[in-house]
Chains A and B, each alone.
Chain A
Amino acid sequence: MEKANENIKSASLSTTDREALHESKPAVQLFDMSGRMVMDKTVKFVLFVSAILSIIIVLAIGFFIFRESLEAWTQIGFTDILLRQVWRPGQEQFGILAMIVGSVAVTFGAIVLGVPLAVGSAVFLGEIAPKGVRSILRPAVQLLAGIPSVVYGLFGMVVLVPLVRQINVPGNSGFGLLAASIVLAVMILPTITSVTEDAIRSVPDDYRSGSLALGATKWQTIIRVVLPAGKSGIIAGIILGIGRALGETMAMIMVIGNSVLFPKPLNGNPLTMFLSQARTLTGNIAVEINYATGVHESALFATGVVLFLLIILVNGSARWLINRQTQIQTTRQG
């Protein structure tokens, strides 16, 4: 009873305390507040407008590309654009299948070459590297993201293409999917590395301690515990990399050859498919938009619509995976 009384007392005391605080503070703050409130509201409004603006801009771009492409969809037809591989604007043939395949193939090549490198360097940065090494290595990897794509293209054209040409296969010009995939692999390295490193770092230390306590070596811990735990984040990183690869334009134009070709092996070896020239969806738009009029122009916008949808799909799935990763961790830790 006494205790209960005391509790009530202290409770009532604290309420009065709080009230007292409440009453005294506004008197002081009211003077201060008006200026700060205005500032607060203005900033809120400006940020709101900028947030809304970016949504509006995305919608406007989507709407605009779609509207411009309508002529192509109606005049040429859905299936004729998406499923045919002959693109000869002079003869009114506008099939973009070869370019869809080109974009997908070069992205696939970049992922095959780039992901092991990127995940490897992320594991090194997140798990193994001492602080000093990390503080040099991480900015160096990030620096790759800052190199303009035209510089990558130039490097590809001057260094990689002649190297690829050394592969002795008739018809191999050096320009093509292989050179383009190598350039892209380096370009997506920083994206995948940084997201993967974040995912690895967000794996709770208890997991590592638990694994090591059970007698696992560091390598076993990384491969069996840390990487599986960060899986969704790593996949999200890879998907963001795919998005970046699909959208790359300038560097691709410079090294891929731009021929509208359905990539095929140059001889009996199916791997020589990657020596074939190709054209990406982005390259198609960039190379031809200067000259396009009428249906041709509209067909290039249709190419843009396909690209837009592909990238929305890819980024959407990355978002979904990132959300899932955080949810899993929240429930695990909670």
Chain B
Amino acid sequence: MGSVEETMNRFKRVFSISFTLALVLIMITACGQSPQSSENKIFTMVGSSTIQPLAEKLAEAYMAENSSVRVDVQGGGSSVGVKAAGGQTADIGMASRDVKESEFSEFPNIVVTVIARDGIAIIANENVGVSDLSLEQIQKIFSGQIKNWSELGGADAHIIVVSREEGSGTRTAFEEMVLGEDLLMTETAILQPSNGSVRTTVSTTPDAIGYLSFGYLDESVKAISVDGVAPTEANASNGTYPVVRPLNIITYGEPSGDLKLFIDYILSDSGQTIVGDEGYIAVN
């Protein structure tokens, strides 16, 4: 009898014992950690998941040349990047969109540096017959006014819109440049939490359309030309491709000392070569 309760009690006992063990382990590891050697300069970079892979490559290259410096790169999103730099919880914040007025008024001391530019590509599933759209058509698709591919010269199929979640730097930049001030993203859009999962969703869902950073563009999806201009680095850097945003790093006050050296490196020729290699547009 009462075996339901017995099971519950057994669960509780096992839980409390394992919990105690876990606590003890945590304490032991906490005590065992040696203080980090003070010779190394450690910079932390926090923010946009779009800039993160680029920042990691830049950090790697810089650390290879300067063994006394360590750069830690973490994601979190553009807003987190601005907040971290403004609140001085990180040395460098990363934001893949313009810094907002409200953020400047909250953190008046932040300094924004553009380290690269990035195009946002419109992508569709391979089964979609349309390969060129005007900016206005894209606007109408993502705001929900055009609902069927037949209205755009494609097959009679419902358009499945894939977008990023609210607050994402890529989405914010896309909304600014494509939707403008007055239009809102259609509420039936499927929301995916990263560039990678937008690509997977669009590539596996027939009739789907979405957008992502140039750096994530690959063969699994169809890249849509905007007003006849293909989403390529060349078209983005010569200014013909219309959907291009800045990739920013943010510091608390003007960077100085070792931090300045690192940022100078990013903006130098060798830093900007890495920017180009990673599929972004160099700023020169």
List the interface of chain A (C-beta within 8 A of B).
46-47, 49-51, 53-54, 88-90, 157-158, 161-162, 165, 170-175, 194-195, 198-199, 201-202, 204, 233, 236, 253-254, 257-261, 277, 279, 286-288, 290-293, 296, 322-323, 325-326, 329-330, 333
Contact = CB atoms under 8 A, between A and B. Distances in A.
Nearest to A87: B166
15 contacts: A47-B17, A50-B16, A54-B15, A172-B158, A198-B4, A198-B7, A202-B3, A236-B4, A257-B191, A258-B190, A259-B187, A287-B191, A291-B80, A291-B165, A322-B8
A290 B167 contact: yes
B19 A50 contact: yes
Interface in B201-218: 201, 204-206, 208
B205 A173 contact: yes
Secondary structure at the A interface, as helix, strand, loop or mixed, is: helix
Interface stretch (B29-37, B71-79, B242-250, B269-277): B71-79
A293 B19 contact: no
A279 B187 CA distance: 11
A169 to B, nearest CB: 9
Contact of B4 (A54, A195, A293): A195
Interface of B: 1-5, 7-8, 15-17, 19-20, 23, 75-80, 83, 158, 160, 165-168, 184, 187-193, 197, 200-201, 204-206, 208
Nearest to B7: A198
Contacts of A292: 79, 167
B190 A46 contact: no
A277 B190 contact: yes
Contacts of A90: 166-167
A333 B160 CA distance: 61
B25 to A, nearest CB: 13
Nearest to A296: B167
A50 B16 CA distance: 6
B283 to A, nearest CB: 25
Contacts of A330: 1-2
Nearest to A323: B5
Contacts of B4: 195, 198-199, 202, 233, 236, 322, 325-326
Given A53-B23, A258-B190, A258-B192, A291 B167 contact: yes
Given A287-B193, A292-B167, A54 B19 contact: yes
Contacts of B166: 88-90, 288, 291
Contact of B204 (A54, A162, A195, A333): A162
A261 B188 contact: yes
Chain A CB count within 10 A is highest, among B158, B160, B191, for B191
Given A158-B204, A198-B3, A257-B190, 9 more contacts: A46-B20, A162-B204, A195-B4, A257-B191, A259-B191, A277-B188, A287-B191, A291-B80, A293-B83
Nearest to A47: B16
A260 B193 contact: no
